[in-house]
Amino acid sequence: MEKQNCWELKGCGWQPGSVKAHELGVCAAAVDEAVNGLNSGKNGGRICWAVTGTLCGGKVQGSFAEKRLSCMTCEVFAQIKDEEGMSDFKLMIPGQMYIPQPAGQNLELLQEEVEMAEAEEMNRDMPEDEYLARAVARAY
């Protein structure tokens, strides 16, 4: 059985030829041929968290460093990680570097990500620092 890409797993409708693509355009994950085949996916469909400018949630998302928290707690990320297994799973695009932002930068964005995760009722009662530590730990 062929493994599903993020747009198939989420049913978001941002892939080429879809009705929704006329609203905001086509999602970067669906057309990024440079990452085709990573995690057994079509284009960026199984490494969407590392693709800049995806349309997850109906709005343009940022880079991996900016969207890491919401992506690492996403059911698509978890399913792909499980399906690929630790020996074959690719967290980042080959050659891509993760450069964490210095303390104090992008705090608004981080707060927005935490609020999104809380809205999804994920780890609602957990302290923020513990929640972040667990999200990062799940990625590895």
- Look at residue 34 and tell me if it is in a domain: yes
Q: So what's the pLDDT on residue 109?
A: 61
Residue 40: inside a domain: yes
User: Residue 107: its pLDDT value, please?
Assistant: 56
Quick one: pLDDT at residue 89?
94
Give tens-digit pLDDT for 105-127: 555 665 666 666 655 545 556 67
Q: Which domain holds residue 21?
A: 6-93+102-139
* Average pLDDT over every residue of 6-19: 92
Q: Is residue 1 part of a domain?
A: no
Distance CA 7, CA 27 (A): 9
Does 52 reside within a domain? yes
pLDDT of residue 58: 85
- Burial (CB < 10 A; 0-12, 13-18, 19+), residue 1, is exposed
- Asked whether residue 115 is assigned to any structural domain, the reply reads yes
Mean pLDDT of the residues in the chain: 81
**25-77 residue pLDDT tens:** 899 999 999 999 999 999 999 999 999 999 988 888 988 888 888 899 999 99
- The total number of structural domains in the chain stands at 1
pLDDT at position 112 is: 66
pTM here? 0.68
d(CA 48, CA 75): 12
